[in-house]
Amino acid sequence: MTIIKLGYVAMSMELKNASPSKTMTFRQFSQIPDREAAIRKLERIAVSNLHNCLRLLRHNKANGIEFFRLSSKLIPLANHDELSDWDYMAPLRESLQEIKSFLKESQMRVDFHPDHFVLLNAAKTDILQVSVKTLALHRRLLAGMGIDTTHRCVLHVGGAYENKEKALEQFIENWGRIPLAIQKMMMLENDDKSFTMNDTLYLCEKLGIPHVFDYHHHLANPGEEDWKEHWQRTIATWEQSPLPVKMHISSPRCTDNYRAHADYIDPAMFMEFLHGIKGSLPEVHCMIEAKQKDLALFKLAEDLSTETGMERLGPATFRIGR
């Protein structure tokens, strides 16, 4: 028997005017003559983003969704070189406290997926340094929300740099240089171009990092492997985690553009995955990555209950097997 919980990414297509990712570019920032006023504006945007983040969490709770990826764009320009004197956390305490109070009362699993500029396997030390700085920002936000930071940030392995083996070894070398608090926060995902499930598992096993299996990425970049032969390895990387196994599910936009995300999830593709893992673990959390965000989650949940006859335990919770 496996419990399946569905989650979605960062923003809602249903809840209006609730973007948690409003921004200001550096160019806009520079064009405001009064620097202090410009910083106050950044702060107002960040507070608004956190406020909308809380609205989204409430929306999730109201709809029985207990798994959610937070936007990584909550604080515009937080890590920009020209703003190193800005204490971006100070004006956010109250907003973070509100989220903390909400999360304390709910079952919600939340995490982050920092964007593709965060590269832990970069050979260039300045890129590694900025990456660690960005992860430290994520850590501060999680801590501010009262979340145990263990296994709350998923990343890709990074660049292939024309030599995948070397790039994997560079990851291991860099890993030893990053703070333990950051290490503990990480999860690693197989990607759709360079690092396959097997490549990613090599690092996960060696360094004790949970593997987030992305089924769509695997189909786009399978390597030599049948994923089912490695699935037990993925599960094993979660043995020391306080959290259930997490995976990503999305569907290709079309055959010409296989790697891009479709609006919705193909339930047949999802069922293929579920049949592959049947009975292998008690609970799995599936992050829906689709352009229609929460609407795609609602639609998949409907499709699963009408077309597959899977037992529905809640709006976004199912059970397979007995």
Q: Where do contacts with DNA occur on this chain (CB under 7 A)?
A: 11, 19, 21-29, 45, 73, 76-80, 115-117, 119, 122, 124, 127, 130, 134, 158-162, 193-194, 257, 259-261, 291
- Tell me the C-alpha distance between 212 and 82, whole Å: 35
Residue 184 Cβ vs DNA, minimum distance, rounded to whole Å: 22
Q: How far is the CB of 19 from DNA (least distance, A)?
A: 3
**Rounded Cα gap, residues 188 and 172, in angstroms:** 13
Half-sphere exposure at residue 130, Cβ-oriented, CA atoms within 13 angstroms: 16
Residue 287's CB is within 10 A of a number of other CB atoms, namely 24
Closest separation between CB of residue 61 and DNA, Å? 21
Length of the chain: 322
- CB nearer DNA, residue 19 or residue 95: 19
CA distance 13 to 17: 10
- For residue 111, the one-letter residue type is D
Rounded to the nearest whole angstrom, what is the least distance from the CB of residue 240 to DNA in the complex?
Answer: 30
- For DNA, the closer of residues 230 and 261 by Cβ is 261
Based on CB atoms, which residue is closest to DNA, 35 or 291?
A: 291
Q: Quick one: 6 or 245, whose CB is closer to DNA?
A: 6
Q: Rounded to an integer, what distance in angstroms lies between the CA atom of residue 84 and that of residue 285? A: 37
Least Å distance, CB 198 to DNA, is: 17
* Smallest distance, DNA to C-beta of residue 193, A: 6
Nearer to DNA, 193 or 275 (CB): 193
Q: Which is nearer to DNA, 70 or 78 (CB)?
A: 78
Q: How far is the CB of 279 from DNA (least distance, A)?
A: 32
Distances (CA, A) of 250 to 137, 186, 212: 28, 21, 13
Closest to DNA by CB, 8 vs 318, is 8
Q: Are 223 and 199 in contact (CB under 8 A)?
A: yes
In this structure, which amino acid lies at residue 81? D
Question: Rounded CA gap, 321 and 298, in Å?
Answer: 22
Cβ atoms of 73 and 56 within 8 Å: the answer is no
Q: Smallest Cα–Cα separation from 317: which of 291, 293, 286, 280?
A: 286
